[in-house]
Each structure stands twice: as C-alpha cells, then as structure tokens.
Structure 1
C-alpha cells in the first residue's frame, strides 16, 4: 500500500492531523525500517510526526515494529539495566557510562545502546573507549556485573538510518523518542528512560504504562538517562506498567555541589569516572540515589513485582 495514505492522515498540521491506530503506526514504521520508502516519503513522515506529535498508541505501534525486526540481546540471569545513550555531552560530561559501571559493580548486567546523532557532542562510546570498553555484538550474553555497549546499527540498521535523517533536516524525529523507550533485550530488563521537557514526561509515562514496561523515568542530564549530578530529579519506577513514585526529587541545586571536570572531552571524562570508581573523587549524590533506586527496582522485578522492595513511597 505504501505510506502515502498514512501521510494524508498525519500530515494535515497540528489541528487537522488525526492519530493512527497502533496497528497502522506499526505498519507505517515497518515500511520505513524495511527500506520500502523513498527519502521524500521518510522526510515527510518525520516532519509530519514532528508537527503532530506521537500519541501513546502510535508510539506503541512504532515499538511493535522495532521489536519485530530488532536483533535482541539474549536474556541474562538477572534483569538487564538498559541505558539508551543518544544525546551525549554538550555542557556537562556524559556520565551515563559512570552510572552503568556503578550498576555493574552492584552485580547487575548493564546494556548501553546508542549511536552518535550530533557530531558536536561527546558520546558515551567515546568515553568508554578511553577506558577500554568497546562495542559488543548484540548476540553476546551480558553476564551479571558486566557492562556492554551495543551500537544501534547492530540492533536494527533501519533504525540507525531513521536517526540519521536528523543530520539532513536538522530536527529530531520519532526514532529519537522510541530509542529511549525500547527494550532491546529478549528477556527481563529495566529500561531507564529520560526526558528533557515536561510534555515528554507525559507521553513517555503513558507509553510505559501502555506497554506494560519495567522502567525508570526521570529528567536526565542533557537527554542522557543519568541524574544531573548537581540536583536530584523526580524518579518514577514502572513494574509491569504499574507506576510508583520512588523519589519526588529536590527543588534547586544541592547544598554542596560536586566537583565536576570543567572539560567534557572523552579523556577528561574517563579520568573523572576512574577517579570516582577508585574512591578518589566523591560520587555525585543524585547518581548514588538513582543507582540505589534502580537496584531496588531490579530486586522487585526478580520478586515477581513486589512493590515493597522499591523502598518507601515518597509523597
């Protein structure tokens, strides 16, 4: 059928556009991922959804299309903590690798997946490479206490191509939203999703609930799924789609701000992370808090969703 009938539905502007069903959204994105669309059609799709915005049903359909085509990482003995890393560092060092290594030290298997989407930013992969962690194939089992980085192209080449459209048109598209929601693991996992603006919190929360996800949702650092080291954000945990507010966050900066590197290049970032892990530099309190909540969430998943293991419910 092609995607032109769908473009007529979603491409009529913010007021005239209509939402697709979950099944229609899955079919549309499936054709994009399978390479059945022209560059013009893909550009029209990206702009139309950018103007209209995705509904939770549409995002669920997009996730269905990705899940049906993706090379999934094998299940591990424990829930795999999934850290999507696509934004990189702009003003602050990219500390997603630090969060991942702290979680691995707690005995959890950790997957960071990502790909560069902006040339001007420092990526998690660049910082990891300095300390000797290189990309793994998606068919490798992640042992408990280990961290793997997997490139998006290895998971699904069509998704990588969709993300790269940003380099041409200069705007993020639906692909940039779904990579922060998707679970690339064949078994049990906890996806750590992050948002940058309040409207994304609403849509991501609704999608996690609709998909029955195991997830954490927080306002991350410059779009990365790690708590801002200067302030503790609100954190919500989803177990099988059921939400629990585990930390209401703190308004304003910490009373004592952490000592962060002034430069964000990979070598400086890697040196800082080594110092933290070796106990030479204090661990930023918000990242400690986030780590503890993720560990408890994974224990709750292992205990068949026992919410009492998430810790006291914050008001």
Structure 2
C-alpha cells in the first residue's frame, strides 16, 4: 500500500502528529528496509520522525522489522558483546576498539558493527583496519577471545540506506538510534547501548524493557559505547529487559587523568590502543570498570539471567 498512509499520521508536525502502534511501525519499517519507497518518501519519513520523535512502541516495532530481515551472525559458545560504533571520534579518540580488545582478552567474543555517515570523523573500522583487523561477513560465528567488525550493509543494505540519508539532509534519523539497540546475533548477546543526552537514556531504557534485551546502557564517549576515559558514568545492566544499576556516576573528573593521544587520527589512536594492550600505557580506569561489569553481565546471561552474578564495583572502587 506504500508508506503514504503512515506519513499522513506521523507528518503532521510536533503538535498534530499521531503515534503508530508497534505493528504499524513494523509494517512501515519493513517497507523502508525492503526498498518499497522512493528517495522522496524515505526523506519524508526521516524528517517526520525527527520532528515528532519516536515512542518506545514505535522503536520496538522498527526493531521487530529489522530483526525479521537482518542477516544475523551465528551464536557463539559464550554471550557475544555487541558494540555499535557509529559516531566515531570528534574531540576524543575513538576507543571502542580498545574496549573490544580488552573484553576479548577476558575471554568473550566481541562484535563491533558500524557505518560511517560523516567523512570528518575517525571510525572504529578505520582504527581496527590500521591494527590489522579486516571487516568480516555476517555469516561467521565469533570465537571466544576474538573481535569481529561487521559493516552495516552486511547486516542489511536497507539499514545502510537509511543511515546514508544523513549525507543528503545533514540530520540524524531513527536508524541512528535503532542500530544502537538491535541485536545482530542469533543467540545470547549483550548489547552495549550508549546515549549523549538524558532523554535518550529514558527512551532507550523503555525500548530495552519492551524488547526484553540483555544490554548495558551508559553515557558513552561522544555517542560511542565506551566509557569516557576521563570520568566514570552511571552504568545499568538489563537482563531480559529488567534493569539493574551496577555503577553509580562519579561527579567530576578522575583524581588522576589518563594519558591520551594528543591527536585523534587513525594512526595515533591505533598506536595508543596497542600500547595500552601491551601494558606500555595504563588502561583508563572507567574503561576497565566498564569491562568488568560487562564480564559480570555475560556471566549472568550464562546463568540463565541470574542477577546475583551482578556485583557492583561502585562501592569497592576508590
């Protein structure tokens, strides 16, 4: 039937727009992903949702459509840590690959998926490639202790098309939020979601609950799913959608700030990450804390979602 009936509902402006049900949202997103709309309709959807804002039910419906169409990686022997990396470096180095390598060293399989929508930012994919990690297809399971990067178009080309609308209109759209919430693994996984503004924390929390997701949620570094190396943020763990606060936010910067690269280019960032992994430079404390909470969360998933495996470091870490 086309997406015009949906556009009439969501495109009436911030005051007049009507919300979609979860089922309607799934139908709309399904048509977008399947390429059943023109570029004009695609742009209209992105602007309409940008003005209206997504409800948790709409986000859940969008995710239902993605889940039904996405090429998923086979399950691994342990829960896979999923790190969505789409923002890249703006003022600070992109340290998502550092978190990934640290988690792999701790015996977990790790997936980074992403797609660059801004040429001016350094991406995790570029840093990983500089360190010798090539992009992988979305057909291989990830062994314990391994890191795979999978490009978004390998998961679903229609999702990449949605992300690429930003290059045409200069604005983020619903897809930029969806990729931080979806689980591309056909089996147990922990999705590490990050936000930049408090209102997104509320909407992401509501969506994780609706979807029954295993996840971590924190205010990341410039939208990346890694703790700011200069301060420790609040961290919540979701097991089957139930929230568990595992780390309280600490006010202000650390007592001793880490030594970070002065440049955020690909070579400087890769050199810094490898130096930390080789023990030549200290690991930033907040990233170490985040990794420990992720390990505990994966153990809880392996114990059939038993929250007793979650022991906060907040009280024991100075």
Q: Work out the CA distance in 1 between the residues paired with 2:308 and 2:10.
A: 43
Q: Which secondary structure does the structure 2 equivalent of 1:164 belong to?
A: helix
Deviation of 1:117 after TM superposition, in Å, equals 1.1
The 5 Å alignment of 1:274-285 reads 274-285=274-285
Q: Which residue number corresponds to residue 110 of structure 2? A: 110
The 5 Å alignment of 1:134-213 reads 134-213=134-213
1:214 is aligned to 2:214: yes
Deviation of 1:306 after TM superposition, in Å, equals 1.2
Q: Which residue number corresponds to residue 307 of structure 2? A: 307
Q: Contact (CA 8 Å) 1:82, 1:192: kept in 2 or not? A: yes
Q: Which secondary structure does the structure 2 equivalent of 1:165 belong to?
A: helix
Q: Which residue number corresponds to residue 47 of structure 1? A: 47
Q: Which residue number corresponds to residue 290 of structure 1? A: 290
Q: Which residue number corresponds to residue 71 of structure 1? A: 71
Q: Which runs of 5+ in 2 are unaligned?
A: none
Q: Which residue number corresponds to residue 252 of structure 2? A: 252
Q: Contact (CA 8 Å) 2:127, 2:269: kept in 1 or not? A: yes
Q: Which residue number corresponds to residue 270 of structure 1? A: 270
Deviation of 1:312 after TM superposition, in Å, equals 3.8
Q: Which secondary structure does the structure 1 equivalent of 2:134 belong to?
A: coil
Q: Contact (CA 8 Å) 2:166, 2:172: kept in 1 or not? A: yes
Q: Contact (CA 8 Å) 1:245, 1:314: kept in 2 or not? A: no
Deviations 1:177-212 (A, max 9, x none): 000000000000000000000110000000000100
Q: Which runs of 5+ in 1 are unaligned?
A: none
Q: Work out the CA distance in 1 between the residues paired with 2:72 and 2:153.
A: 12
Deviations 1:60-80 (A, max 9, x none): 000011011110000000000
The 5 Å alignment of 1:30-45 reads 30-45=30-45
Q: Work out the CA distance in 1 between the residues paired with 2:129 and 2:304.
A: 36
Stretches of 4+ moved more than 3 A in 1?
312-315
Q: Contact (CA 8 Å) 1:245, 1:313: kept in 2 or not? A: no
The two structures, once aligned, show a CA RMSD in angstroms of 0.9
Q: Work out the CA distance in 2 between the residues paired with 1:203 and 1:137.
A: 31
Q: Which residue number corresponds to residue 8 of structure 1? A: 8
Deviations 1:75-134 (A, max 9, x none): 000000000000000110000000000000000000000011111000001100111000
Q: Which secondary structure does the structure 1 equivalent of 2:244 belong to?
A: strand
Q: Work out the CA distance in 2 between the residues paired with 1:222 and 1:110.
A: 21
Q: Work out the CA distance in 2 between the residues paired with 1:75 and 1:66.
A: 18
Normalising by structure 1, what TM-score?
A: 0.99
Q: Which secondary structure does the structure 1 equivalent of 2:228 belong to?
A: coil
Q: Work out the CA distance in 2 between the residues paired with 1:58 and 1:313.
A: 35
Q: Work out the CA distance in 1 between the residues paired with 2:250 and 2:118.
A: 31
Q: Contact (CA 8 Å) 1:80, 1:109: kept in 2 or not? A: yes
Q: Contact (CA 8 Å) 1:244, 1:313: kept in 2 or not? A: no
Structure 1 pair 313–149 and aligned structure 2 pair: CA distance change class (3 A)? closer
